[in-house]
Amino acid sequence: MMIFVSLIVGVVIFWLLARFKLAGPDLGVFDEPRPATFGGRVAASPEHAAVVERILKLGAGARGRVGQSERIRRMRDALEQAFGQTEVDAEICPMSAGGVPAEWVLSPGADPNRRMLYLHGGAFMAGSPKSHRPLTARLSAENGAAVLSVDYRLMPENRRLDCLADCAAAYRWILENGPEGKAPLDTLFVGGDSAGGNLALAVIAWARDEGLRPADAAVAFSPLTDSTYSAPSLRSNLATDPMLAETFRQVQRLPRSLLLWGSFLLMRVRPQDPRVSPVFGSLAGLPPVLVQASTAEVLIDDGRRWVNKASAEGTDATLQCWPGLVHVFQAFVPDLPEANEALADVRKFFDLHAPRSADGRGGSKVSEGA
């Protein structure tokens, strides 16, 4: 009898700790409004079918009944094969950003004092500056900016907060260093996709709290903002997200208390901590932020909730949605028309918020000459 009572008490304590120490407050109030899709599109372009086929082919090679280490290795290889072999029209300069491996991505004519810190995606376990070069090269070209792409430490070899620490070190470094050496900057942008979008939103909040020079603007492509995994689209969009559905289908099968404990043990930090769940922190006093996502992906509500909460707290935050596309569709430039549209709109957003020059002009060299 005592064993049974002890078991019941243990289960209750397990649940209470998950509910009150690991889960964050209810964010349902930030699920509305739901903005119209960008540019009046009602469906994905015909070119999107080839993108989905490419993703499914790569995903098939990464799956299989293997151990965790082999699964992670396959995931990393798949991401490198997807984009890392693509030639880009940019100069690539490997270097150390405050002790963190990184590379400068410089399109022809990029302004060394107009800089962008970019943080790649890959579920915090995969990805690299190389795997994201097509995207960072295009961001450099669109914005006339020198892009610093950070090779932050990955999980599970490292802690989740190590990822953020590396990004913070690179942020501090880029304020005083450019591709030509030590030099102050004129303009700073921050960007990231998926896991990197999470890090981008976390690092601009960190910079605010540290009293550092803020970014002039930031962009997050399909960011994960809630590591307690509470957003409704994590379930409702499982049937429409070919990239993330399999992973999140497994996650959603777990009882919520087990999911929260699993997240805690994996990250080695409470899932509701704003350093890993930016949506739970203060979102006041941040630079202007543009979030872009697809209506079909499981992380759409993560972005929506962050933007709605940030707006409610006085931050200039914008959400743009495209219908029926894959997660981080911007990575499929130049083949996907919506990716080209999205990155052109990032340029417009950055130009709007970039510092004005003495003659009253602002924006990138590209946009001024367009």
Distance CA 235, CA 291 (A): 21
Query: pLDDT exceeding 90 applies to what percent of the chain?
Result: 71
Quickly list DSSP for 74-105.
HHHHHHHHHHTT---SSEEEEEEETTEEEEEE
Q: pLDDT tier at 100 (50, 70, 90 boundaries)?
A: very high
Distance CA 185, CA 355 (A): 11
Q: Up-side HSE of residue 207: CA atoms within 13 Å toward CB?
A: 29
- From 327, 338, 341, 353, active-site residue: 327
Annotated active-site residue 297? The verdict is yes
pLDDT in tens, 344-365: 999 999 999 998 653 343 555 4
Instruction: Please state the domain extents for the chain.
Output: 35-351
pLDDT in tens, 244-282: 988 888 877 888 888 888 888 889 899 999 999 999 999
Least confident range of 14-28, 64-78, 219-233: 14-28
- Is the bond into 274 cis (omega within 30 degrees of 0)? no
- On the question of pLDDT at 10 being above 60, the answer is no
* Residue of higher predicted confidence among 104 and 59: 104
Q: pLDDT tier at 8 (50, 70, 90 boundaries)?
A: low
Question: What does the pLDDT read at residue 18?
Answer: 59
- Is the bond into 33 cis (omega within 30 degrees of 0)? yes
pLDDT in tens, 239-252: 999 999 888 888 77
The chain-wide mean pLDDT, for the chain, equals 89
* Residue of higher predicted confidence among 263 and 217: 217
Q: Read off the pLDDT of each residue in 188-203 and give the average, rounded to a whole number.
A: 98
What CATH homologous superfamily does 35-351 map to? Alpha/Beta hydrolase fold, catalytic domain (3.40.50.1820)
Query: What DSSP character marks residue 29?
Result: G
- From 297, 341, 353, 364, active-site residue: 297
- From 107, 194, 222, 277, active-site residue: 194
* Residue of higher predicted confidence among 232 and 20: 232
Distance CA 216, CA 12 (A): 48
Annotated active-site residue 194? The verdict is yes
Question: What does the pLDDT read at residue 13?
Answer: 57
Question: What does the pLDDT read at residue 19?
Answer: 60
pLDDT in tens, 114-156: 999 999 999 999 999 999 999 999 999 999 999 999 999 999 9
Contacts of 332 (CB under 8 A, 6+ apart): 51, 326, 339
Angle at 225 between CA 190 and CA 222, to 5 degrees: 65
